[in-house]
Amino acid sequence: MYSSHELVGVLGSNGAGKTTLLRAISRMLVSTGMVRFDGKTLTRMPAYKVVAEGICHCPEGRHLFRELTAEKNLRLGAYLRTNRDGIESDLERIFSPFPMLRVRRSQQAGMLSGGEQQMVAIGRALMGKPKLLMLDEPSVGLAIRLKATIFRCHR
Ligand SMILES: Nc1ncnc2c1ncn2[C@@H]1O[C@H](COP(=O)(O)OP(=O)(O)OP(=O)(O)O)[C@@H](O)[C@H]1O
Ligand SMILES: [Mg+2]
């Protein structure tokens, strides 16, 4: 259970099942049990419909489209948005906490540093305008200053 504007952390040792939990919610993993969100049951939905319901998952390991540019990866996060208005301003909003992405926007994602790739992965998830943003190991590969930035982004 969570409420709007709430930040929830899931803690557990290696192999405890944190990634499995997020994958079950976003339906990247077929699981038993029930997932309910915003009054709807997601259990039998394919993953892309879960995104349309407002859940965006930034996965452990980033899973970028490595041969596409950083900007194309970011724009793909908005792929399912029916209202295209605001996409340009949302892109600018991503560049505000992560100014290095503006510099790197035309470079292939696979050529970026680990920390920059993590910023792209988080930015891509934010471009979906999620009601629920799920970040798996969000601070891996980031400098300490950027770790603080990420956890301020929800405000
Ligand atoms: N509830 C569960 N029942 C049975 N097996 C599970 C369950 N949850 C997770 N597993 C299995 O445990 C293994 C590790 O889980 P997972 O990768 O989700 O852990 P994690 O907490 O994300 O670990 P890490 O901190 O290393 O990222 C996986 O092989 C997964 O299939
Ligand atoms: Mg994990």
For residue 12, the ligand closest to its alpha carbon is: 1
Above 70 in pLDDT, residue 69?
yes
Interatomic CA distance for residues 143 and 15, integer angstroms? 25
So what's the pLDDT on residue 2? 60
- Ligand 1 midpoint to CA 7 (Å): 22
Q: Which atom of ligand 1 is nearest to the CA of 16?
A: 21
- Ligand 1 midpoint to CA 63 (Å): 18
| 18-152 to CATH, choices 3.40.50.300, 3.50.50.60, 3.40.50.10320, 3.40.50.2300 | 3.40.50.300
Q: What is the pTM of this model?
A: 0.87
Q: Whose CA is nearest to atom 2 of ligand 1?
A: 17
Q: Can you name the residues that pair with 132 across neighbouring β-strands?
A: 55
Q: Which atom of ligand 1 is nearest to the CA of 137?
A: 27
Distance of CA 5 to the CA centre of its chain: 16
Encode pLDDT of 95-154 as tens digits: 998 999 999 999 999 999 988 999 999 999 999 999 999 999 988 877 887 788 777 765
Contact 120, 68 (CB under 8 A): no
Interatomic CA distance for residues 94 and 103, integer angstroms? 12
Query: With a 6 A CB cut-off, is 19 part of the ligand 1 pocket?
Result: yes
Radius of gyration, alpha carbons of the chain? 15
So what's the pLDDT on residue 3? 67
| Residues, Cβ < 5 Å to ion ligand 2 | 18-19, 60
Give me the residue spans of the domains in the chain.
18-152
Contact 42, 30 (CB under 8 A): no
Above 90 in pLDDT, residue 31?
no
Confidence of residue 1 (pLDDT cuts 50, 70, 90): low
Encode pLDDT of 39-58 as tens digits: 999 988 999 999 999 999 99
- Ligand 2 midpoint to CA 18 (Å): 5
